[in-house]
Amino acid sequence: MNQQEKKLSLRVDGMTCSACEIRIESALSGLQGVFSVKADRQKRSVEIVYIFGQTSEEKIKNGIEAAGYKVTPVGIQTGSTLREYSVRNEAQSEVWKNGQGIILVLLIFVLFWMLQKISGVTLIPEITSEASYGIIFLVGLITSVHCIAMCGGINLSQCIQREDQVLHQGYHSAAMKPSLQYNAGRVVSYTVLGGVVGMLGQVIGFDNSAKGFVTIVAGAFMILMGLNLMGAGSWAGKLIPRPPAFLKNKLNRHKRSQKPFLVGLLNGFMPCGPLQSMQLYALGTGSFSAGALSMLAFSLGTVPLMFGMGFLSTLISRSVSQKLFRLSAIMVLALGVIMTGRGLSLAGISFNPGVTEIEMETLEDYGQIAVVQDGVQTVTIELHPGYYEPIVVQKGIPVRFNIEAAEGSLNSCNDAVQIPEFNIQKPLMVGDNWIEFVPEQAGVIPFSCWMGMIRSEILVVDSLNNTK
User: Which CATH topology does 360-467 take?
Assistant: Immunoglobulin-like (2.60.40)
Q: What is the mean pLDDT of the chain?
A: 71
From the options 3.90.245.10, 3.30.70.100, 3.40.50.720, 3.40.50.1980, give the CATH code of 5-84.
3.30.70.100
User: How does pLDDT run across 213-257, given as a tens digit for each residue?
Assistant: 777 777 777 777 777 766 655 555 555 555 555 555 555 555 444
User: How does pLDDT run across 420-454, given as a tens digit for each residue?
Assistant: 888 888 999 999 999 999 999 988 898 988 767 78
User: How does pLDDT run across 298-319, given as a tens digit for each residue?
Assistant: 889 888 877 765 444 445 555 5
The domains of the chain are located at 5-84, 125-346, 360-467
Which pTM value belongs to this model? 0.50
**SS3 for the chain, per residue?**
CCCCEEEEEEEEECCCCHHHHHHHHHHHHCCCCEEEEEEECCCCEEEEEEEECCECHHHHHHHHHHCCCEEEEEEEEECCEEEECCCCCCHHHHHHHCCHHHHHHHHHHHHHHHHHHHHCCCCCCCCCHHHHHHHHHHHHHHHHHHHHHHHHHHHHHHHCCCHHHHHHCCHHHHHHHHHHHHHHHHHHHHHHHHHHHHHHHHHHCCCHHHHHHHHHHHHHHHHHHHHHHCCCHHHHHHCCCCCCHHHHHHHHHHHHCCCHHHHHHHHCCCCCHHHHHHHHHHHHHCCHHHHHHHHHHHHHHHHHHHHCHHHHCCCCCHHHHHHHHHHHHHHHHHHHHHHHHHHHHHCCCCCCCCCCCCCHHHHHHHCEECEEECCEEEEEEECCCCCCCCEEEECCCCEEEEEEECCCCCCCCCCEEEEHHHCEEEECCCEEEEEEECCCCCEEEEEEECCCCCEEEEEEECCCHHHC
